[in-house]
Structure 1
Amino acid sequence: MRIGIVVLCRYSSSRLYGKILKEIKGKKVLEYICDKVSRVKGIDGFCIATSVEKDDDAIERFCKKNNVNIFRGDLNNVSKRFYECAEANNYDVIVRINGDNIFLDKDLISDAILKFKENNLDFLSNVKERTYPKGMSIEIVRKDVYEAHLKNMTSDYYREHVMPYFYDNEKLFKTMYLYNEDDSCKGIDLALDTQEDFNTVTKILSLTTKLHYKYNYKEIVSLYKKINDKQI
C-alpha cells in the first residue's frame, strides 16, 4: 500500500496573489511546506499538485529547481486534480494538504496516518468541528474510494473543495474524526490566506529559535498567542 501526500496549491490565489512562492526569512512558503511533508513518517512520497495555467509555471520552476515531484491538472476542478495526481504517482492512500498550511505539524500527520492504517479506514479527518487550528488540517482517503465517488462530485462546491462530499455522506464510509482534547486551540486561524495572515506568519517565524519543522502545533499556537497578546 503506497501512501502519498498531495499538496494542492496555485500561484493565482485570489486573496494573496503568488503567496505560495512569497519569501519569509529567506525561504519560500512552498519550501517550508516541502521541508515538513518530506519528514512525515509512513509515506512513500509527496507531490505538489498545481494547475496547467501559465501562472503556475512559476511553481513548476520551483519544483524542478528543488527536485520536488509535481503534477499539473485542472485549475477549477480541484477534486479531479487531486485524484489524478494520486493516480499518476500510484498512491493507494492520499493525504491531502493545502498550500496555505505553512504551519502543518509533521508529527500530527504521521500519527494520523498510523491511525488510518491501524483502523483500515476509508476516510480520516481532523477538520470536523475544528478542534485543531485552521491551517493544520489533515484529511486522508483511500484512492479507490475517492475514485468510486468522484463521478458524484458534480457541484462546483465539491469540485473546488475536494473533501466536503465525504462529510456530507459520512455514513457511506468507514470514517474516523480526530479531536484535540486541549480546547485552547479552538478558533485559532493559522492558515495563510491574506496579506494580514502573511504578516502574522512572518511575526511568528521571527520568534522561532530552532529549525521550523521541529515546532509542533502547540508551540506554534503559543507563539501566535504571544503576538496577539502583544507580548512582543
Structure 2
Amino acid sequence: MNVIAIIQARMGSNRLPGKVLRKVLGRELLSYQVERIRRCNQLHQVVIATTTKAIDHPIVEYCVNNQILYYRGDEEDVLSRYYEAAVKYQADVIVRVTGDCPLLDPEIIDHMIAMYEKNPNHYVSNVIHRTFPRGFDIEIIPFQLLKEINEQATSAYDREHVTTFLRNQSTTFPTIDVTNERDLSNYRLTVDTFEDFKLIQKIIEELYPNNPSFSLKDVVELLASQPKLLQLNAHIEQKR
C-alpha cells in the first residue's frame, strides 16, 4: 500500500502572500512541515502539489533544491490537482494536508493511518467535528474515493476545497470521524495572516532548537506556560 502525503501549497495567498516560504530560524515554514511529516512511520512519500502559475516557480525551485517530489496543477481546481498528483505518484492512499500547517504532529498522522488500515476504503478525518487546533487538519483518502469525488463533484466550491463534497455526502461514503481526547479547537495554529505567522514563529523559536521533534502536547504546554502568545492572533477570524 503506497501511502503518500500531498501538501497543497501556493505563493498567492490573499492574506499573507508567500507564507509557505517565509523563514523562521533561517528555514522556510514548508521545510519544517516536510521534516515533521517525514517522521511518520506509515508514510512512503511526501509530495508538494502547487500550481502552474509563474508565481509558484519559487515553490518548485525549493522542491528541486531540497529533493522533494512535486506536482503542478490547476490553481482553483484543487481537487483535480490532488487527483492528478495521486495518479502521477501511484498513491493507494492519500494523506491530505495544507501548506499552512507547519506544526503538524506525525504521531497524529500515524494514528489516523492506523485507523484507516483497520477500516480500509474509509475516509478518515479530524475536521468533521473539530477538536484539534486549526493547523492540525488531516484527512486520509483512499485513491478510489478520491477518483470518485473528482468525477462527481461539480461546484467550484467543492473543487476548490477538495473534500467538502465528500463530507456533505457522508451517508454515501464510509467515514471515520477522529476526535482528540481534549477539545483544542479554540487554538489557532495555522498560518493565514501575519499575526498567525508571528505565533508560529514564536513557537518554533521556543521549541525547535532543543526539541526538533516537539509534539502537539509540547505546543499546548508552551502556550499554557506563556498564555500571552495566544493573544497574537486571537482576533483573527477563520475564512471558512
Determine if the TM-score, normalized by the shorter chain, exceeds 0.5.
yes
- After TM superposition, give the deviation of residue 137 of structure 1 in Å: 0.7
Is 1:119–2:119 an aligned residue pair? yes
Contact 1:204 1:227 in 2 (8 A): no
Contact 2:8 2:97 in 1 (8 A): yes
Q: 1:29-48 to 2 correspondence within 5 Å?
A: 29-48=29-48
Name the structure 2 match of 1:158. 158
Q: 1:204-223 to 2 correspondence within 5 Å?
A: 204-208=203-207, 209-212=209-212, 214-223=213-222
Matched residue SS, 2:152: coil
Is 1:2–2:7 an aligned residue pair? no
Paired residues in the alignment total 229
- After TM superposition, give the deviation of residue 166 of structure 1 in Å: 1.4
Name the structure 2 match of 1:51. 51
Counterpart Cα distance in 1 of 2:205 and 2:46: 28
Name the structure 2 match of 1:175. 175
State the identity %. 31
Counterpart Cα distance in 2 of 1:165 and 1:224: 35
Q: 1:74-113 to 2 correspondence within 5 Å?
A: 74-113=74-113
Q: Give the direction of change, closer, same or farther, for the CA distance of 1:45–1:192 in structure 2 (3 Å limit).
A: same
Contact 1:73 1:81 in 2 (8 A): yes
Partner amino acid, structure 2, of 1:169: Q
- After TM superposition, give the deviation of residue 182 of structure 1 in Å: 1.4
- Worse-superposed segment, 5-14 or 141-150: 141-150
Matched residue SS, 1:229: helix
Is 1:24–2:24 an aligned residue pair? yes
Counterpart Cα distance in 1 of 2:171 and 2:77: 25
| Superposition TM-score, scaled by structure 2 size | 0.91
Contact 2:20 2:30 in 1 (8 A): yes
Counterpart Cα distance in 2 of 1:177 and 1:40: 20
Counterpart Cα distance in 2 of 1:96 and 1:224: 27
RMSD value, Cα: 1.4
Counterpart Cα distance in 2 of 1:87 and 1:230: 42
Contact 1:203 1:227 in 2 (8 A): no
- Worse-superposed segment, 50-59 or 202-211: 202-211
Name the structure 2 match of 1:229. 228
Matched residue SS, 1:151: helix
Q: Give the direction of change, closer, same or farther, for the CA distance of 1:206–1:91 in structure 2 (3 Å limit).
A: same
Contact 2:223 2:229 in 1 (8 A): no
Matched residue SS, 1:173: coil
- Deviations along 1:24-63, whole A, 9 cap, x unmatched? 0111011001101111111221100000000110001000
- After TM superposition, give the deviation of residue 230 of structure 1 in Å: 6.1
Contact 2:121 2:145 in 1 (8 A): no
- After TM superposition, give the deviation of residue 121 of structure 1 in Å: 3.5
| Superposition TM-score, scaled by structure 1 size | 0.94
Name the structure 2 match of 1:201. 200
Unpaired segments ≥5 residues, structure 2: 231-240
Counterpart Cα distance in 2 of 1:188 and 1:85: 31
Contact 2:124 2:175 in 1 (8 A): yes
Partner amino acid, structure 2, of 1:198: F
- After TM superposition, give the deviation of residue 223 of structure 1 in Å: 2.0
Q: Give the direction of change, closer, same or farther, for the CA distance of 1:182–1:12 in structure 2 (3 Å limit).
A: same
- After TM superposition, give the deviation of residue 205 of structure 1 in Å: 1.5
Partner amino acid, structure 2, of 1:26: G
Contact 2:7 2:48 in 1 (8 A): yes
Counterpart Cα distance in 1 of 2:200 and 2:30: 13
Counterpart Cα distance in 2 of 1:140 and 1:97: 9
